[in-house]
Amino acid sequence: MSHVEVMNGNRAAGIAACLARPDVIAAYPITPQSSVVEFISRMIAEGKLDAKICEVESEHSAMSVLEGASLAGARTFSATSSQGLALMYEPYFRASTLRLPIVMAIANREMISPQTLWASAQDSLSVRDAGWMQFYAEDNQEILDTLLQAFRIAEDSRVLLPINVCYDGFYLSHMSERVVVPDAEEVDAFLPDGYDPEHIVLDPDRPMAVDPLTNGDLLTEYRAKHLAAQQAALQVIEEVDAAFSNAFGRSWDGAVEPYRIDEGCQAIVVTLGSMTGAGREAVDRLRDDGEAVGLLKIRAVRPFPAREVREQLAGVPAVGVVDRNVSFGWNTGIIYQEVSSALYGVQGTARIPIISGLGGEDITVEMFEDALRKILVAGRLSSERRDETPETIWLRQEKEGGAA
Amino acid sequence: MRSEYIVPIGPDGIYEIKTGTWRTTDPRIDQDVCIRCGVCLMHCPVGAVKREEGRFTIDLEYCKGCGICAHECPKGAITMEGRLSA
């Protein structure tokens, strides 16, 4: 039987990782991730998890250790944040291009400068094109559940790609709430019994040269297969969520989750991560005022669920995307660009870029109400005006004194 | 599709590129000094060292002349002989 505990997001991530019975864990401490690996380390020290944990001298080494372990057939796990992820970038790319199904939690943290510790998906979104799959969780239950799903998605023979489960630093990593923890037996029944690679392996009984110097002709072919695997993952994500729902009674709606979206919707706000809770509350308040508004939560950024996003948003008079990150050079956030690409060619749907909550600033329910009302106004423009590129809205809290 | 694999592994790539064309110095194994330990084969980054009938030989189509084998050989049995200066 499952049981209920009050826990923070890092503990939820640590528990999920332990339930997946990884063989090798390697990580380097960084705020706000550190307590994930501290928890796993304690579980191993207490004899509750039979796994090898490697204390390494950097994140670059952490990912390199996991690549060796995964090549040898180990189920692997790590966790990192921000500058740690940046230092990991070189082996991070290799993990995906060698098709190693490594699972890594990312407690999202802003990138410097200025010096900062607090939430933003700037770190993981900046490496969204490095070939990994990336999920973003709204609450601690979703962290635990998505991590369990992640092992099964990553190791699926149609996918074989590494995966990040990302969640906002401090808002989730250090915030405690109710989480249902499944039993080990239930998880054992849901996940395959260990990772057993066929496609690439370091094994004296099956000798193969791994990662030799390769010309562009073959590299192109591997890239085409990698991109196809990302697309195949969209189907696998749906299947795994359905299997998860059967096993545990909770569904997360696959790659996107619509909230109060219906035929008559006049405005939809698109969210990522922990901000979604405030967004739902704002939608409820405006619905109480008689406004036809809804919310679309993006769960998977890679693979990007373009078809689902288009189906949910096309034809709605106005859509706003709230980004807790920026896309330098576009004057918008990153998810805005992703959503805009999915809506390419759609006419009569205004697309409003909204940047808010950088550096861990709160995005309040009132700010979401403000955003939704601005989106509603944009939706009342003529169809031609709606197709014009709108100004980016910088949604900030009113503060007294000093810099605004 | 030219490859049956989804990742860069040996049967596809390792002998795809004739790295021997990069070589500026040639390795020479003194078979009388060689103790057949195989250290050169283990260290060769392009898989150019082969063991044939108990002897180690270097395939000059793929040897890129890096000299790692000569550096690692415990008996100093491998020397790199200059081509450019010859």
Does residue B25 belong to the interface with chain A, where contact is any CB pair within 8 Å? Answer: no
Q: Report the gap between the CA of A334 and the closest CA in chain B (Å).
A: 30
Q: Do B13 and A99 touch (CB under 8 A)?
A: no
Burial of A366 (0-12, 13-18, 19+ CB in 10 A): middle
Domain boundaries, chain B: 19-82
ipTM: 0.85
Does residue B7 belong to the interface with chain A, where contact is any CB pair within 8 Å? Answer: yes
Residue type, B62: Y
Does residue B42 belong to the interface with chain A, where contact is any CB pair within 8 Å? Answer: no
CB nearest A221 (choices: B2, B17, B47): B2
Q: Do B10 and A209 touch (CB under 8 A)?
A: yes
| pLDDT of A58 above 70 | yes
Average pLDDT of the segment spanning A89-104 = 98
Cα separations in angstroms, A242 against A152, A245, A252, A285: 12, 5, 9, 31
Average pLDDT of the segment spanning A186-206 = 95
Rounded CA-CA distance A67/A91 in Å is 8
A202: nearest CA partner in chain B: B9
In chain B, the percentage of residues whose pLDDT exceeds 90 is 76
pLDDT at B83: 67
Average pLDDT of the segment spanning A308-324 = 98
Q: Report the gap between the CA of A225 and the closest CA in chain B (Å).
A: 6
Does residue A232 belong to the interface with chain B, where contact is any CB pair within 8 Å? Answer: no
- The number of beta carbons lying within 10 Å of the beta carbon of residue B43 is 14
DSSP per-residue string spanning A207-219: ---BS----HHHH
Average pLDDT of the segment spanning B56-68 = 96
The encoded tokens of residue A241 equal: 């969520």
Task: Return the ∠ at Cα A47 (arms to A46 and A53), rounded to 5°.
Answer: 90
- The number of beta carbons lying within 10 Å of the beta carbon of residue B36 is 10
Strands A176-181 and A267-272, by their bridges, are unpaired
Give ranges for CATH 3.40.50.970 in chain A.
3-248
Confidence at A403, pLDDT banded by 50, 70, 90: low
Q: Do A211 and B9 touch (CB under 8 A)?
A: yes
Rounded CA-CA distance A329/A266 in Å is 30
Query: Do A295 and A354 form a contact (C-beta atoms < 8 A)?
Result: no
pTM of the predicted protein model = 0.94
| pLDDT of B76 above 90 | yes
Q: Do A221 and B3 touch (CB under 8 A)?
A: yes
Burial A276-291 (b: 16+ CB within 10 A, else e): bbbbbbbbebbeeeeb
pLDDT at A397: 87
Topology of domain A3-248 in CATH is: Rossmann fold (3.40.50)
Residues of B with Cβ-Cβ distance to A67 under 8 angstroms: none
Task: Return the ∠ at Cα A224 (arms to A62 and A156), rounded to 5°.
Answer: 55
Residue-wise pLDDT for B28-47, tens only, equals 999 999 999 999 999 999 88
Which residues neighbour A322 within 8 Å (Cβ) at sequence distance 6 or greater? A269, A270, A271, A272, A275, A279, A333, A354, A355, A356, A357, A363, A368, A371, A395
CB nearest B2 (choices: A209, A218, A226): A218
DSSP per-residue string spanning A99-138: T---EEEEEE-PPSSSP--S--THHHHTTTTSS-EEEE-S
CATH architecture, domain A256-395: 3-Layer(aba) Sandwich (3.40)
Residue tagged 């096993």 (tokens)? A247
Average pLDDT of the segment spanning B14-30 = 91
CB nearest B7 (choices: A200, A215, A217): A200
Helix, strand, or coil (residue A325) = coil
Residue-wise pLDDT for A344-387, tens only, equals 999 999 999 999 999 999 999 999 999 999 999 999 999 999 99
Nearest to A84 by CA among A28, A11, A26, A13: A28
Q: Do A218 and B46 touch (CB under 8 A)?
A: no
Does residue B46 belong to the interface with chain A, where contact is any CB pair within 8 Å? Answer: yes
Rounded CA-CA distance A191/A189 in Å is 6
Which residues neighbour A377 within 8 Å (Cβ) at sequence distance 6 or greater? none
Rounded CA-CA distance A366/A369 in Å is 5
Task: Return the ∠ at Cα A384 (arms to A383 and A388), rounded to 5°.
Answer: 115
Average pLDDT of the segment spanning A9-13 = 98
The encoded tokens of residue A247 equal: 């096993």
Q: Do B1 and A221 touch (CB under 8 A)?
A: yes
CATH C-level class of B19-82? alpha beta
| pLDDT of A404 above 60 | no
A229: nearest CA partner in chain B: B6
Does residue A226 belong to the interface with chain B, where contact is any CB pair within 8 Å? Answer: yes
A208: nearest CA partner in chain B: B10
